[in-house]
């Protein structure tokens, strides 16, 4: 009967092949060749994931050279079909000018018992081995996985989501629309808040808001570099950069106003406005007191504090990340992409939870 099944596939009579395979499954469900033809049926009916699972199982368990070769050919056909389908979808998406805007795709952390399954699904969708997938799918925080035209990222992202891999994407123009105000100080914090702040144009003003408007906050630190002289080759003096200190930032997100209030320990005027208990100390002590005061007013507001883990995934994306204006004012001899990285992280959080 296997010869009849093979002949039915040869003449593309899939209805007869289906009937024959059903009979064989009743008689010999564990027969490797029966399983192979079941995979072929899944393949021709458009159930690529199910077919791929069968072919891979046969590669793991079968020692028949002919069957192994057939299974590999099946996997190759599936890969070719998937590649062509994806290229067609990307080409179609590119016909819409809005889909050509640059964007970013993020992978979210996966832990616990589902992690192995998610890794396998990621490997299948992105056509990489499980070892590579394990190193890519984060177990903490977010990973910047791709940067490119937003239409293309949407296609990859939807495939990953359909496979149970948590991911999302945002277009650069959408991130750039979020307005950022630099907070000089809190004029008052109770019962409602009011801050003296500056726009990007340095225009000074006041913004009053209810604490309930703050839907999340983002905290992070950025390195401050200094130039030092070090001894290099043959004790020749060389100028090098080293981390001198860290700047602390806290962003308050007000989605209803589509804006971020950005507080920076080096720019905050602790001698103005609301006096926080124990404020007369070092900048770090004053900053900690300010954060403690915010905690009292925002006890249930989510705080996103994994910027450092996120920044460690950006080595391959310095150029696209640097296209995002950082809205951070640190005295630097040269630009540092980490400034844009923090702004990217904060605005991604903003849009993700809007």
Question: Structural domains in the chain?
Answer: 2-91 (1.25.40.10), 95-173 (3.30.1390.10), 178-352 (no CATH)
Segment 50-78 mean pLDDT: 89
DSSP H or E stretch at residue 57: helix 48-61
Contact 266, 330 (CB under 8 A): yes
Q: What is the mean pLDDT of the chain?
A: 89
pLDDT tops 80 at residue 238: no
DSSP H or E stretch at residue 84: helix 65-93
The band of 335, judged by pLDDT with boundaries at 50, 70 and 90, is confident
The band of 231, judged by pLDDT with boundaries at 50, 70 and 90, is low
Contact 164, 102 (CB under 8 A): no
Stretch among 20-34, 47-61, 216-230, 280-294 having the lowest mean pLDDT: 216-230
Segment 298-318 mean pLDDT: 95
pLDDT tops 60 at residue 239: no
CA distances (Å), origin 36, targets 1, 286, 312: 14, 69, 44
Contact 150, 169 (CB under 8 A): yes
Most confident by average pLDDT, 19-28, 72-81, 199-208, 327-336: 199-208
Percent of the chain whose pLDDT exceeds 90: 58
pLDDT at res. 37: 84
pLDDT tops 80 at residue 139: yes
pLDDT tops 80 at residue 1: no
Long-range pairs for 312-319: beta carbons < 8 A, 24 or more residues apart = 313/138, 313/142, 313/143, 313/144, 313/145, 314/144, 314/341, 317/104, 317/144, 317/147
SS3 127: coil
304 closest CA partner among 221, 213, 219: 219
Most confident by average pLDDT, 86-100, 216-230, 279-293, 297-311: 297-311
* Position with higher pLDDT, 184 vs 272: 184
DSSP letter (8 states) at residue 191: S
pLDDT tops 80 at residue 110: yes
The band of 86, judged by pLDDT with boundaries at 50, 70 and 90, is confident
pLDDT at res. 275: 55
CA 168, 171, 174, 175 torsion-angle sign: positive
For 135-158, b where at least 16 C-beta lie within 10 A, e where not — what string? Answer: eebbeebbbbbbbbbbbbbbbbbe
Q: What is the pTM of this model?
A: 0.81
Residue with tokens 């998610």: 118
Segment 16-23 mean pLDDT: 87
SS3 199: coil
Q: How far is CA 226 from the centre of its chain?
A: 31
Residue with tokens 């070090």: 230
SS3 190: coil
Q: Across the strands, what pairs with 142? A: 108
């Amino acid at each position: 009967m296997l010869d009849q099944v093979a002949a039915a596939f040869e003449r593309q009579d899939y209805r007869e092949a289906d009937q024959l395979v059903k009979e064989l499954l009743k008689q010999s469900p564990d027969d490797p060749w029966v399983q192979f033809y079941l995979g072929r049926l899944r393949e021709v009916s458009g159930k690529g994931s199910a077919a791929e699972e069968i072919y891979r199982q046969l590669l793991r368990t079968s020692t028949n050279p002919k069957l192994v070769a057939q299974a590999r050919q099946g996997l190759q056909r599936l890969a070719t079909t998937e590649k062509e389908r994806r290229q067609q979808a990307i080409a179609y998406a590119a016909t819409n000018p809005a889909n050509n805007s640059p964007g970013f795709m993020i992978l979210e952390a996966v832990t616990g018992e589902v992690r192995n399954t998610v890794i396998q699904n990621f490997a299948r969708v992105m056509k990489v081995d499980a070892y590579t997938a394990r190193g890519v799918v984060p177990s903490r925080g977010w990973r910047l996985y791709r940067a490119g035209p937003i239409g293309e990222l949407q296609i990859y992202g939807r495939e990953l989501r359909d496979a149970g891999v948590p991911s999302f994407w945002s277009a650069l123009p959408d991130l750039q629309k979020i307005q950022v105000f630099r907070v000089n100080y809190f004029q008052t914090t109770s019962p409602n808040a009011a801050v003296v702040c500056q726009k990007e144009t340095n225009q000074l003003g006041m913004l009053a808001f209810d604490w309930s408007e703050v839907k999340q906050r983002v905290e992070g630190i950025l390195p401050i570099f200094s130039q030092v002289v070090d001894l290099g080759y043959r004790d020749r003096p060389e100028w090098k950069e080293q981390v001198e200190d860290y700047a602390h930032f806290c962003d308050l997100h007000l989605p209803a106003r589509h804006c971020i209030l950005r507080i920076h320990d080096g720019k905050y005027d602790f001698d103005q406005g609301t006096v926080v208990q124990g404020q007369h100390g070092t900048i770090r002590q004053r900053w900690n007191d300010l954060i403690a005061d915010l905690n009292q007013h925002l006890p249930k507001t989510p705080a996103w504090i994994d910027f450092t883990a996120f920044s460690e995934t950006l080595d391959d994306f310095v150029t696209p990340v640097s296209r995002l204006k950082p809205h951070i004012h640190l005295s630097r001899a040269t630009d540092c992409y980490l400034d844009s990285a923090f702004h990217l992280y904060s605005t991604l959080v903003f849009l993700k939870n809007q």
